């Protein structure tokens, strides 16, 4: 194993206006001065406010630095990805911590580039650090556990490096081989002392569920098991001890990057973690004014769900910027690499824990013996996929769509896409729930609706659900100087999103923006969708 020390890059170091000081990420005296966040000793829990906070100064300064060019790993080129593959021994690290990589390549040499994702003038990333060259090695072939379908990469660690001085954020570690091979390893640099207004969550358990690297995911078997008896079919357990398939980025692009760029463009007070951090430390959600769940946040453990429920009940806002969230129930178990590396999802009562602890059976959350539909927390209820439909505005007399130029009946083309949620009165649904958009859809030949919702909880928390995958993808079109309207959907979407972020950044938004139930006016009642699509 080689240990690489940090070396400065011309593209910008943490010393240029930002420094790690006193347990929180702060602006240094070389920047504009003053602290971006309070030190832990003086930090207090989030308090209500009627106005959005000022932009986070360190975020503004960070995004004023030069962005990277040509940093993307090309899409659709498997030969490029497959010549170098790697994974980290953890999905996130607290600031200044160490990262260990396990990399396999036939290239004589390789290096890693740390790309922090943000706005950066629209480039989307900044090169924060680059390693020295490392000798390439072809590591062992993946190993299949035939009992549960788990493909593991039994590799040794061949590079460890420090994140000292790196700004917290979402990173892509770009592996670059001397033979032209490239792939990513995602990484979040947390700041556990930070009580930023917005806590943005990366849905790595969902990424891993869909990861086919080696041969199996929680959905598919690509035939690599050879069709031997007992080997065929989807996995019941997948592991983080392997690379992600395709270009290695998981579901980051198209599901999460748009939110990160939007928030940092507008200078919101933001910090980052993964859903595994939610599992490990669910109590920390309450340290923030809102948690943001991004485009596809499907796979949840008991600890994860309870963490969000407890935070909501304490006044923390929840924002779901996708669809199909909190649908599959999982357990996380350790491997030799570390805690929470195996993700368990049997999807039936064949789960071995069924007889001893039925509540931990890894069925869907809405199924027996768990019987806790996601709608009780989100408001919306996942229905089906695939779908492609216009989003239809039905209610503009509210804070969310204020200044968007939208009117009842306006359509936002194609904004309901891939998967969708709707208010389903037959399922547990908050009483004080308001529908902003109510969009007719046809999915698998069945007629239904997709909804954008908001409800206010008795704690003062507000909970938002956008009910579609597509919203995140529309957040970063160039709309400077545009007048928001139905004729300019990206401008309207960005204006609405800014209203939402301003509200939830300021404190318990269900108190300042109480929901006004309108289900009856829209004809939403039990049985109003006669023949919903199968799930």
Q: Looking at residue 515, which CATH number applies to its domain?
A: 3.40.50
Q: Are residues 148 and 290 in the same domain?
A: no
Q: Could you give the percent of the chain with pLDDT greater than 70?
A: 88
Q: Are residues 176 and 311 in the same domain?
A: no
Q: Are residues 152 and 18 in the same domain?
A: yes
Q: Are residues 195 and 303 in the same domain?
A: no
d(CA 207, CA 217): 10
The reply to whether 218 falls in a domain is no
3-state secondary structure of 280: helix
Taking each helix axis from N to C end, the angle separating 489-505 and 257-265, rounded to the nearest 10 degrees, works out to 70
Q: Are residues 53 and 186 in the same domain?
A: yes
d(CA 457, CA 116): 35
The reply to whether 87 falls in a domain is yes
The reply to whether 344 falls in a domain is no
- 103-143 pLDDT per residue, tens: 999 999 999 999 999 999 999 999 999 999 999 999 999 99
3-state secondary structure of 492: helix
The reply to whether 73 falls in a domain is yes
- 318-365 pLDDT per residue, tens: 999 999 999 999 999 999 999 999 999 999 999 999 999 999 999 999
Owning domain of residue 459: 281-326+375-535
Q: Are residues 159 and 306 in the same domain?
A: no
Last residue of a domain, one of 156, 181, 199: 199
Q: Are residues 152 and 293 in the same domain?
A: no
Tell me: pLDDT of 504 over 90. yes
Poorest-pLDDT segment among 3-7, 313-317, 381-385, 517-521: 3-7
Q: Residue 25: what pLDDT?
A: 41
pLDDT band (50, 70, 90) for residue 418: very high
Strands (E), 5-51: 18-21, 24-27
pLDDT band (50, 70, 90) for residue 75: confident
Q: Are residues 295 and 395 in the same domain?
A: yes
Q: Residue 55: what pLDDT?
A: 76
Q: Residue 517: what pLDDT?
A: 98
| 343-355 exposure pattern, b = at least 16 Cβ within 10 A, e = fewer | bbbbbeeebeebe
Q: CATH number of the domain that 63 lies in? A: 2.60.40.10
Q: Residue 195: what pLDDT?
A: 96
- The tally of domains found in the chain comes to 2
Q: Are residues 321 and 177 in the same domain?
A: no
Tell me: pLDDT of 79 over 60. yes
d(CA 343, CA 208): 8
Q: Residue 53: what pLDDT?
A: 57
How far are the Cα atoms of 226, 246, 367, 445 from residue 140, in angstroms, in the given order? 19, 19, 40, 47
Q: Residue 228: what pLDDT?
A: 53
The reply to whether 217 falls in a domain is no
Q: Residue 294: what pLDDT?
A: 97
Tell me: pLDDT of 86 over 90. yes
Tell me: pLDDT of 6 over 90. no
The reply to whether 333 falls in a domain is no
Q: Are residues 192 and 294 in the same domain?
A: no
* Mean pLDDT of all residues belonging to the chain: 90
Last residue of a domain, one of 157, 179, 199: 199
Tell me: pLDDT of 31 over 70. no
pLDDT band (50, 70, 90) for residue 231: low
Cis peptide before 369 (omega within 30 of 0): yes
Last residue of a domain, one of 199, 233, 258: 199
CA dihedral for 516, 457, 263, 126, sign (positive or negative): negative
Average of pLDDT values for 195-208? 98
Tally of CA atoms within 13 A in the half-sphere of 358 that contains its CB: 7
Q: Which H or E element spans position 84?
A: strand 84-88
Tell me: pLDDT of 41 over 80. no
């Amino acid at each position: 194993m080689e240990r690489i020390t940090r070396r400065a890059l011309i593209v910008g170091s943490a010393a240029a206006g930002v420094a790690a000081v006193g347990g929180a990420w702060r602006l240094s005296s070389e920047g504009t001065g003053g602290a971006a966040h309070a030190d832990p000793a003086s930090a207090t829990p989030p308090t209500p406010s009627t106005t959005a906070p000022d932009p986070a100064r360190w975020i503004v300064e960070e995004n004023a630095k030069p962005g990277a060019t040509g940093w993307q790993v090309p899409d659709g080129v498997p030969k490029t990805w497959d010549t170098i593959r790697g994974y980290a021994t953890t999905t996130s690290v607290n600031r200044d911590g160490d990262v260990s990589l396990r990399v396999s390549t036939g290239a004589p040499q390789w290096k890693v580039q740390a790309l922090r994702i943000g706005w950066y003038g629209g480039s989307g990333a900044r090169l924060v650090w680059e390693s020295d060259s490392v000798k390439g090695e072809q590591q062992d072939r993946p190993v299949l556990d035939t009992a549960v379908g788990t493909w593991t990469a039994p590799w040794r660690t061949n590079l460890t490096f420090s994140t000292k001085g790196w700004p917290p954020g979402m990173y892509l570690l770009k592996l670059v081989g001397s033979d032209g091979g490239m792939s990513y390893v995602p990484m979040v640099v947390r700041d556990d002392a930070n009580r930023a207004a917005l806590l943005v969550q990366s849905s790595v358990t969902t990424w891993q569920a869909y990861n086919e690297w080696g041969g199996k995911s929680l959905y598919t078997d690509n035939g690599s098991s050879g069709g031997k008896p007992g080997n065929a079919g989807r996995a019941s357990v997948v592991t983080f001890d392997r690379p992600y398939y395709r270009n290695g980025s998981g579901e980051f692009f198209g599901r999460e990057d748009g939110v990160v760029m939007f928030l940092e463009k507008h200078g919101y007070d933001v910090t980052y973690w993964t859903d595994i951090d939610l599992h490990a430390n669910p109590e920390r959600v309450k340290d923030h004014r809102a948690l943001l769940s991004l485009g596809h946040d499907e796979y949840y453990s008991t600890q994860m769900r309870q963490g969000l429920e407890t935070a909501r009940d304490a006044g923390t806002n929840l924002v779901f910027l996708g669809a199909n969230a909190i649908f599959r129930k999982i357990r996380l178990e350790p491997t030799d690499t570390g805690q929470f590396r195996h993700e368990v999802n049997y999807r039936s009562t064949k789960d071995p824990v069924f007889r001893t602890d039925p509540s931990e059976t890894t069925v869907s959350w809405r199924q027996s013996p768990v019987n806790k539909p996601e709608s009780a927390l989100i408001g919306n209820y996942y229905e089906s996929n695939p779908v492609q439909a216009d989003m239809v505005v039905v209610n503009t007399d509210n804070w969310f769509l204020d200044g968007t130029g939208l009117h009842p009946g306006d359509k936002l083309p194609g904004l309901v896409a891939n998967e969708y949620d709707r208010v389903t009165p037959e399922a547990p649904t908050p009483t004080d729930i308001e529908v902003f958009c109510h969009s007719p859809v046809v999915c698998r030949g069945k007629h239904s609706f997709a909804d954008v919702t908001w409800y206010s909880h008795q704690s003062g928390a507000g909970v938002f659900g956008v009910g579609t995958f597509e919203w995140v993808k529309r957040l970063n079109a160039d709309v400077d100087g545009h007048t928001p309207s139905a004729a300019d959907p990206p401008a309207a979407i960005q204006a609405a999103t800014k209203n939402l972020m301003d509200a939830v950044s300021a404190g318990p938004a269900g108190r300042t923006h109480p929901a006004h139930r309108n289900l009856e006016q829209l004809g939403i009642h039990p049985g109003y969708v006669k023949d919903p699509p199968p799930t």
